[in-house]
Amino acid sequence: MWFCSLLVLGKHDFHSLLDSHDELRKIISETAQKRLVKGN
Contact 6, 14 (CB under 8 A): yes
Please report the pLDDT score of residue 30 as a whole number. 92
pLDDT number for residue 8: 65
What are the structural domain ranges in the chain? 2-39
- Is the whole-model pTM more than 0.75? no
Q: Enumerate residues 6+ apart whose C-beta is below 8 A from 17.
A: 6, 9
Q: Model confidence over 1-40: pLDDT tens digits?
A: 456 565 666 666 767 777 778 888 898 899 988 888 877 5
